Amino acid sequence: MHTLSSINSYAGKTAVVIGGGVIGASWAALFLVNGLKVIISDPDPEIESKAEALITAALPALKALGYKATDVEANLSFEKDNAKAVVKADIVQECAPEKVEFKQALWKTIEAAAPKHALLFSSSSTIPASAQFTQMVDQSRLLIGHPFNPPHLMPLVEVVPTPKTDPEITAKALAFYRGVGKIALEIRKEIPGFVANRLQAAIFQESVFLVAEGVVSLDQLDDVVTSSLGIRWATSGPFLSFHLGGGPGGLSHFIEHLGPPMELAWKHLGKASFDDATKALLAKQLATTYGTSSFYALSEVRDDKEVAVINGLAQVQSPA
């Protein structure tokens, strides 16, 4: 079962979620089951029914992780006007469209209307905070709190300060995300894609290359990953894996003996592109493998499996 020891640290605080789409609604669900009040601010005329449907869909997984999920409805409200929404905010989690000018204007509005103590976080995966804060008076307040999809389920939050971020704000961000059950990690430099998405891009390029080359089919590539690397990396990261792969001599022994062939392998990694032939090949193989399954059915199985992995690992990490 998920560790919920700090469930009450932020209970009763108010989190304002800017943008109630897939990411925003997922954050909202997580904040709600942790006892926060949540205000969703989104101009969509149908935002209430859409967001409530997404939050309702997230609750079974959160309950499976050990959350009680009471008072969810009572603590959720909506306010279309961003300035009005943030007046009583303790935390602002921005999940608006990935348009830099839009975000710049948004933060000017939010800074003017929100309390001085409010924590200001952007969920952006592609626009660093230092590109978003240009119209803010106090640029030391803004940083990235980038979740991994779906945010209510995946433990990781990449906390990415800018060179101007007040270290005390960074510390509060890490404490907040850990308080709502996340594994929050401070990324020390603003770099495009941060860490998780760069690693994902690296493996995806080789994946597309191997399928385009006809070495394996798309479904075989997926099966290779789920039956080997995925299991390994759910339990130990790349460095610990090779530290253990080196035997009692550890990573140093590994690099001494397998470093040169590894460097050679790096030179021979494939290049890929989404040219028309590759896109057609992927579409064809995808239709063969997943064509008859709906997005919702596949997502449900994935979520169930992710909960099973997270809960399975939690049993090992906290031996009775």
* Comparison of 59 and 282: residue with beta carbon closer to a copy of itself: 282
Residue 167 CB, nearest approach to a copy of itself (Å): 17
- Build a one-symbol-per-residue string for 79-118: x at contacts with a copy of itself by CB under 8 A, - elsewhere: ----------------------------------------
Measured in degrees and rounded to the nearest 5, phi and psi for residue 239 equal -75, -45
Of residues 45 through 64, those in contact with a copy of itself by CB under 8 A are none
> Alpha-carbon distance 157 to 175, whole Å?
11
Q: Does 191 bind a copy of itself (CB under 8 A)?
A: yes
CB of 33 to a copy of itself, least distance (A): 19
What is the closest distance, in whole angstroms, from the C-beta atom of residue 3 to a copy of itself in the complex?
A: 13
| Residue 199 burial class via C-beta count within 10 angstroms: exposed 0-12, middle 13-18, buried 19 and up | middle
Query: Which tokens sit at 123?
Result: 């969920």
C-alpha span between 155 and 300 (Å, rounded): 18
For 18-62, the three-class secondary structure string (H helix, E strand, C coil) is ECCCHHHHHHHHHHHHCCCEEEEECCCCCHHHHHHHHHHHHHHHH
Q: Is 131 in the site for a copy of itself (CB under 8 A)?
A: no
Containing 91, the helix (H) or strand (E) segment is: strand 91-94
The residue among 23 and 85 lying less far from a copy of itself, judged by its C-beta, is 23
Closest CB to a copy of itself among 118 and 128?
Answer: 128
The answer to whether the CB of 21 falls within 8 A of the CB of 97 is no
Site for a copy of itself in 211-250 (CB under 8 A): 211, 213-216, 218-240, 242-245, 247-248, 250
List 268, 276, 292, 320, residue binding a copy of itself (CB under 8 A): 268
